[in-house]
Amino acid sequence: MTAQQRIAFQGMYGAYSDQAARRAFPGATTVPCRTFEGAFGALRDGDVELAVIPIDNTLAGRVADVHHILPDSRVHIVGETFLRINHAPCRGARNPKFPNLQGNPKPMWHAPGPSGRKISSGKLCR
């Protein structure tokens, strides 16, 4: 992998897929795509040389969107990498400036709340 090679991923800079791409291919240029379809399209159209796409989540299972797109995408899996994710949102933190912290419900569901129970809504702290 050279610094000129480009790698598509779904999400914004700093997303887990971006982190995985940067770890697997140091020096490559990562290219954010709004959707999985966009990342597959960038690869298929030759805008990038590779794409780093999550297909499985140890806690939540398969990434269903990817499993629906991949068969008709005309791209192939050529390798794999693993990225350990540690969620530690809020853990009982209180801040009057942010009475309701919200975020992506998937990682919040995985993280234990202040009571030790899993959180099922987007609100973590009040």
pLDDT (tens digit, 9 = 90+) per residue, 6-56? Answer: 999 999 999 999 999 999 999 999 999 999 999 999 999 999 999 999 988
- In angstroms, the CA 82 to CA 84 distance is 7
Distances from the Cα of 116 to the Cαs of 5, 35, 98, 113, in angstroms? 44, 33, 22, 5
Comparing CA positions, the residue from 123, 111, 125 lying closest to residue 60 is 111
pLDDT tens profile 66-107:
888 888 888 888 988 888 877 655 555 566 666 666 655 555
What are the extents of the domains in the chain?
6-72, 86-126
pTM for the predicted model, two decimal places: 0.69
CATH topology of domain 6-72: D-Maltodextrin-Binding Protein; domain 2 (3.40.190)
